[in-house]
Amino acid sequence: MALHAFCVLVTVIMAIAHQAYGSGRGSMGLVSGFIDPPIVGICSTSVIIHGYKCQEIDVKTKDGFILNMQRIPEGRAGGGDTKRQPVLIQHGVLVDGMTWLLNPPEQNLPLILADKGFDVWIANARGTRYSCRHTSLQPYEPGFWNWSWDELVVFDLPAVFDYVYSQTGQKAHYVGHSLGTLIALASFSEGLLVDKLKSAVLLSPIAYLGHMNSALDVAAAKAFVEITTLFGMAEFNPKGEPVTNFLRALCDYPGVDCYDLLTSISGKNCCLNASTVDLFLKNEPQSTSTKNMVHLAQTVRDGVLAKYNYGNPDFNMMHYGEAKPPIYNLSNIPHDLPIFISYGGQDALSDVRDVELLLDSLKFHDVDKLTIQYIKDYAHADFIMGVNAKDIVYNQVVSFFNHQH
């Protein structure tokens, strides 16, 4: 498996789609310097229009980032004065919270949970369009992008969990997809969130990435030298010229199909609506840091879940006090933490063999606290956009939550 396969696999579809559909930062009101809070945000475009209450909330991390969240406090029919259990929902890499809300409301996980009696909170990671603010840094400064998913573990997730707890006084259920599962597992292994966590749902989990299968793997391997030229940039912007130039070149490799990118990237999704895919491609991608993409590539290359490798034992020694980056030991996850894992047989990113490695690392977990769902026909995007995800996955998630006391 190529070192940078993950970067390429996740990015190609979004950047090429951007070329086709045209989705620039200017349309989001993003300008050089500080970014004003969104006037038109996810609440107004994707929640309130369906008849739900929704609040736009900003949460500050300890390292100064201002993260945008959406709160859907009750279902469309209202909720009276009933105290509702909070659920925090976290998206994957190069997308934002909008990805949970692209289908009709009766098929979207956040709105389903709200209608089922939960207090729903949608997180948006640093660097995405509505979380692209900082107390002292500006997006055009390299320092703004000096982070990897380690910082999502140490700063972003604790900030949003702390805020939800401060507002509700309750431990929260958690739902993560893709990178949202990776940072959750790493956090749980470090004991960072467990005091404010009631249970965790991991959809299409990624922790080990060595077995990813995709039509683009070979091209990604051959393109290794080319993609390293991107690493002079702090921001990894799939809409930017350096990345799109690289991707255009990648599409010229023999066997690479840039006309069926969703299948090439994420596997043969069984159950997507074409209009939902169009909406997805119009709204994404979102920027992340180049350092974050490098860290993900290291996870592919090394086959272990570890902190960012600075590439030099001396630099690692400076940051960690040891020559190699510390490992996130998943066996340290509390064995009595209720966990629900759902994965698909067609997923090219969360390959079945890699999920089996994850499950092996959880082999000492309390048997009655670990629920596993395998969906033979599902691929990566089906879990967030599948037209039948409510019947196959989300109803199981609701049932899992309702069984936690």
List all residues 6 or more positions away from 352 whose beta carbon is below 8 Å from its beta carbon.
Answer: 211, 343, 345
**Strand duo 118-123 + 172-178: pairing:** unpaired
List all residues 6 or more positions away from 364 whose beta carbon is below 8 Å from its beta carbon.
Answer: 331, 335
* Cα distance between residue 205 and residue 139, in whole Å: 30
* Cα distance between residue 192 and residue 306, in whole Å: 16
| Catalytic option among 23, 131, 148, 178 | 178
List all residues 6 or more positions away from 109 whose beta carbon is below 8 Å from its beta carbon.
Answer: 89, 100, 175, 384, 389, 394, 397
List all residues 6 or more positions away from 255 whose beta carbon is below 8 Å from its beta carbon.
Answer: 215, 218, 219
* Residue 53 structure tokens: 């209450």
* Residue 123 structure tokens: 């997180």
Token look-up 């190529």 returns 2
Q: Output the CA angle 356-358-360, nearest 5 degrees.
A: 70
| Catalytic option among 96, 115, 150, 347 | 347
Do residues 114 and 72 lie in contact, with contact meaning Cβ atoms separated by under 8 Å?
Answer: yes
State which amino acid sits at residue 24.
G
- The reply to whether 63 belongs to the active site is no
The string of DSSP letters for 273-298 reads: -HHHHHHHHHH----EEHHHHHHHHH
List all residues 6 or more positions away from 136 whose beta carbon is below 8 Å from its beta carbon.
Answer: 64
- The reply to whether 173 belongs to the active site is no
Do residues 269 and 387 lie in contact, with contact meaning Cβ atoms separated by under 8 Å?
Answer: no
Do residues 287 and 132 lie in contact, with contact meaning Cβ atoms separated by under 8 Å?
Answer: yes
- The reply to whether 347 belongs to the active site is yes
Beta carbons within 10 angstroms of residue 345's beta carbon? 15
| Catalytic option among 173, 295, 365, 380 | 380
* Cα distance between residue 209 and residue 185, in whole Å: 14
* Cα distance between residue 57 and residue 123, in whole Å: 10
**Strand duo 65-72 + 55-60: pairing:** antiparallel
Residues acting as catalytic residues: 178, 347, 380
